[in-house]
Chain A
């Protein structure tokens, strides 16, 4: 039990830098596509780490199933809206940023 709890804590701590780096990327990146990249990928990995950590700590199957369902829904929503935003940005002829 204690080993499970501590490994869950480690997983949660591992997930926090992903969230912070996602926000930093949203602020610092130069382009809408790069910002989308930072936002959706980093945040979903961070949320996955936190969900896995909390599921290890919860100790009940019902809570674990609900946590995984939440993560799955966030994954679907964020990937769908990321794809939509990127495609309509391409339609509006917004050029990707190049180092120059």
Chain B
């Protein structure tokens, strides 16, 4: 166990906690989804630091899954939720 890496992870955790304000306050839906993306990136960084700090290389695999699936929620949001319901304003394909 190295306390230094765990301390760095502890520094990164408030970055997640403060970002939650934007979920609660965000004017558009995309702002809220962007915050989820911030959580993904910060979560990967915290997992990498914890993996070095706790001496457990298995956590790298969890970070790999996190980064692999990070874009999935955002893309579903853009394609399914945020686009207007059925009205097509532009001709060139959005997806």
- Interfacial residues, chain A to chain B (CB-CB below 8 A): 9, 12-13, 15-16, 19-20, 22-23, 26-27, 32, 35-36, 39-40, 43-44, 46-47, 50-51, 54, 57-58, 63, 66-67, 69-70, 73-74, 76-78, 80-81, 84-85, 87-89, 91-92, 94
* Bound form: Cα–Cα A85–B78 in Å: 7
What's the least CB distance linking B87 to chain A, in Å? 11
* Bound form: Cα–Cα A87–B30 in Å: 11
17 of the cross-chain contacts (CB-CB < 8 Å) are A12-B5, A15-B45, A19-B42, A27-B21, A32-B31, A40-B37, A46-B45, A66-B64, A70-B44, A77-B70, A77-B71, A78-B70, A81-B70, A89-B30, A91-B83, A91-B89, A94-B28
What's the least CB distance linking B15 to chain A, in Å? 4
A85 & B30 in contact (Cβ 8 Å cutoff): yes
A43 & B22 in contact (Cβ 8 Å cutoff): no
The interface on chain B, measured as residues whose beta carbon lies within 8 A of the other chain's beta carbons, has a size of 44
Main secondary structure of the interface of A (DSSP, over half): helix
Q: Indicate whether B38 reaches chain A with its CB closer than 8 angstroms.
A: yes
A sample of 4 more A-B contacts (CB under 8 A), given A12-B8, A19-B12, A57-B52, is A51-B48, A63-B60, A73-B70, A81-B70
- Interfacial residues, chain B to chain A (CB-CB below 8 A): 4-5, 8, 11-12, 15-16, 18-19, 21-22, 28, 30-31, 33-35, 37-38, 40-42, 44-45, 48-49, 52, 57, 60, 63-64, 67-68, 70-71, 74-75, 78, 82-84, 89-90, 94
Q: When the two chains form the complex, which single residue of A19, A32, A73, A94 contacts B67, counting CB atoms closer than 8 Å?
A: A73
A66 & B60 in contact (Cβ 8 Å cutoff): yes
